[in-house]
Amino acid sequence: MPLVTPAALTFHEVSKSYPSAAGGVLHALREATCEVPQGRVVAIIGRSGSGKSTFLHLAAGIDAPTSGTVRIDGHDLARMGEHERTRLRRDAVGLVFQFFHLLPHLTVQDNVVLPAMIAGDRGARLAASRARARELLGRVGLEGRAGDAVDKLSGGEMQRVAICRALLRRPRILLADEPTGNLDDDNGRRVMDLLLALVREERGTLVYVTHSRDLAGRADERWRIHSGVLELGADP
């Protein structure tokens, strides 16, 4: 029988609640059930405070659900220890944020290679990561800036570096939280063009949060979160 490839991401009746300042309960996500097959691009839209970032934090294993099951690449996060979850997140999940989170004391290339350094890669493995970083930088038009300090880059260039860093270890799923939210419209479109092109070239999986209906319309699927409720198949 052919092998069945697990979905890149699965939620089953996932809820997340927090104590509110008034002494009650804030329901950030309510019994969300969804599946992101490998190779799909999904956009999530919704107003500020609707639960979009909570969804991504749960999907990345950064936060744990109050109830329900989250699986990354078939692995049930609740059945894993903290060390196992950290390793899975490091190897299987790529993260892109609205604010680039680059380290100013490192060069452009070293910022891209940082996940390999954190993982403890040495020798041939680290050399392979450096080669991968140079390849990715070339694909986003920054091959000539590899040795520069990141504070010499524009905002759009910084986000391109952040995308390369997220893709370095060929993650099973890439999660992007408002990846163009800190850029002007022109740079935002260019960065989104590159992000989608790179993900599709590498046959990757992408879930991105955006407030822009135009950017959401470029995904294979569009979902909406409203007051913590996830709705699949939203109109662009």
Domain for residue 2, yes or no?
no
188 is a domain residue: yes
Q: How many domains does the chain have?
A: 1
CATH code at position 201: 3.40.50.300
- Which amino acid makes up residue 77? L
- The pLDDT of 10-39, averaged and rounded, is 91
What pLDDT, on the 0 to 100 scale, is given for residue 3? 56
For residue 143, is it within any domain?
Answer: yes
Residue 137 maps to a domain: yes
Q: Is 69 within the bounds of a domain?
A: yes
* pTM for the predicted model, two decimal places: 0.90
Tens digits of residue pLDDT in 125-142: 999 999 999 999 999 999
Q: Would you say residue 1 lies in a domain?
A: no
For residue 4, being part of any structural domain is answered with no
* Domain assignment of residue 64, given as a range: 9-231
CB contact at 8 A, 62 and 83: no
CA–CA distance, 96 with 178 (Å, rounded to integer): 8
Phi/psi at 43 (nearest 5 deg)? -105, 140
Residue 195, domain member (yes or no): yes
